[in-house]
Amino acid sequence: MTAFFIGDVALDEYYTADRWPGRADKGMVRELPAEIGGSIANAAVVHATLGGDTQFISLLNDSPLSQRLVDDLRQNCVGVDHMLTDATIAESRNLIFLIDGEHVVLTVEMGEQPMWLAPETLAALRQPGFLYTTLYRVRRLHTQTQNGILKQADLLADLLQHGRRAIFDLDVGGCTSEDMPYLSGAAVVIFNQVGFRATFGHDDMARIGDWIGDHGIGRVVRTLAADGAEAFDGKTHQRVAGYPVEVADVTGAGDTFGGALTWCLARNQTFTDALDFAVAAASRSVTIHGPRGGKASEEDVRRWRQGQGSAQADPGR
């Protein structure tokens, strides 16, 4: 089954600094080599490198940079058969500042133009498999059918009815009540700690059981940075510890986690096993500089994990 990743691909321009300047302040930065990244594209590359059948969809302009981004995806075994083009939008770039073991990401605004899916793309998406995406992207999806325009939450609901399983990466942004038509019925919703707190106003995963049940969500996952990750389906809590590693660059760690988790679930692994593998893949990724530090084969991840010692799962807390 083909997994579709709908989201961003971009040139990541890296800088380091001793501190993040305050308001009306100045600071010096040191430039590092730029690398191709983009959150959802990173996840797609991880999925493809693990051996998953992968297609990526984004909306780019027709510049040489955009062609470079698409060529890089091809070289990483990511299918780009359904990419979209709009010559009027800005270049896809991120400015990433590495400071004190963390990162600050500034993304060039590219607008919210509708993403019109071709009939063949709709047909492909109406097949069983996973769809890994963000709220920012699904709000923009449109397609023309024989019965008229199908768009946004209605389009996503149509795909779910045809067997497509949605995984949402909400990262730091979280969600609001207005987003629930999109998230309802999702197989997995992934938050990090900031996004979870922004959404629910607390840090207690045990208190969101009704929210999960009311919206028909399979599982909520919260990544915990160096402490691993946890998942909750409204009844059972699962937690996998992180690995003590020397951090080189945290950029792309969450993307690695999401791409690896998607790959595991597509292979019908248990959720605890999938969580464990995804945490190991993400932990390994932060030891390598660059947004694609998580790019690795299954054997690479398992060998690295064996060298670190197994993280401890807590399937029943």
Average pLDDT over residues 234-255: 92
Q: pLDDT at residue 4 above 70?
A: yes
- 311/59: higher pLDDT: 59
Digit-coded pLDDT (tens) for 121-146: 999 999 999 999 999 999 999 999 99
3-class SS string, the chain: CCEEEECCCEEEEEEECCCCCCCCCCCCCEECCCEEECHHHHHHHHHHHCCCCEEEECEECCCHHHHHHHHHHHHCCCECCCCEECCCCCCCEEEEEEECCEEEEEECCCCCCCEEECHHHHHHHCCCEEEEECHHHHCCEEEEECCEEEEHHHHHHHHHHCCEEEEEEEECCCCCHHHHHHHCCCCEEEEEHHHHHHHHCCCCHHHHHHHHHHCCCCEEEEECHHHCEEEECCCCEEEECCCCCCCCCCCCHHHHHHHHHHHHHHCCCCHHHHHHHHHHHHHHHCCCCCCCCCCCCHHHHHHHHHHHCCCCECCCC
- Residue 108's pLDDT is 86
User: For residue 277, what pLDDT is reported?
Assistant: 97
| Percent of the residues in the chain that have a pLDDT greater than 90, as a whole number | 84
Domain map (residue ranges) of the chain: 3-7+39-89+112-308
Report pLDDT for 251. 83
Which pair of tokens denotes residue 54? 């992968």
**CATH topology classification for 3-7+39-89+112-308:** UDP-N-acetylmuramoyl-L-alanine:D-glutamate ligase (3.40.1190)
Across the chain, what does the average pLDDT equal? 94
Residue-wise pLDDT tens digits, 36-69: 989 999 999 999 999 999 999 999 999 999 999 9
Q: Which of 3-17, 101-115, 159-173 has the lowest mean pLDDT?
A: 101-115
Confidence grade of residue 313 (pLDDT, cut at 50, 70, 90): very low
pLDDT at 317: 41
pLDDT at position 314: 47
Name the band, by pLDDT with cuts 50, 70 and 90, for residue 310. Answer: low
Mind listing the pLDDT tens digit for each residue in 158-215?
Answer: 999 999 999 999 989 999 999 999 999 999 999 999 999 999 999 999 999 999 999 9
